[in-house]
Amino acid sequence: MKEEREKKSYSTFLKENEGKIMLAITIIFISLTMIYSNINEKEYYKKINDFQGKTFGKVYSIRLGKSIYLKYYSEARYSEYTFDNFGKYYRVIFNEKNPSESHIYLTKEIQPDSIALTKAGFKYVIYYDYDIPTNTYIKKHKWE
């Protein structure tokens, strides 16, 4: 009889405080997620501080989804970007032992000259666009 009362009072307690319990669980979950994210971010910045290689990269594409990815000569997850970053050059640091580990600084836009672009591995490409009104091909160029 006593066990039945305890079960009844426990289930009654859960029903009466269901909203408070869910709120507490949600707050705990959000807090743990924020702590985990903060720890990961600190570890990431500690890791990139050891990178010795320096170059620059051009943002080629932006992929949206659960995470936002910018593609330059490497691909990186990045949260602070705008579509204005597309096609511009930015400072990049990388791990000389593993160049696929890199970080692009989207706050540091640079204007490289042709010599710097060539040294960084970019190629000057000439291409032709068809112009419908004049029925001719127009010579254009770009750095890839």
Report the alpha-carbon distance of residue 20 to residue 131 in Å, rounded.
67
> How sure is the predictor about 79, in pLDDT bands with cuts at 50, 70 and 90?
low
Cα radius of gyration rounded to whole Å, the chain:
27
pLDDT given at position 16 = 79
> How sure is the predictor about 72, in pLDDT bands with cuts at 50, 70 and 90?
low
> How sure is the predictor about 74, in pLDDT bands with cuts at 50, 70 and 90?
low
pTM: 0.53
Position 28 pLDDT exceeds 90: yes
- pLDDT tens-digit map of 98-127: 877 777 777 778 887 778 777 777 788 888
Helix (H, G, I), strand (E, B) or coil at 18: helix
Position 128 pLDDT exceeds 60: yes
pLDDT given at position 29 = 92
Average pLDDT score, the chain: 76
Q: Are 90 and 59 in contact (CB under 8 A)?
A: yes
If one compares 38 and 66, the residue with the highest pLDDT of the two is 38
Q: Are 108 and 91 in contact (CB under 8 A)?
A: yes
Mean pLDDT score, 80-104? 75
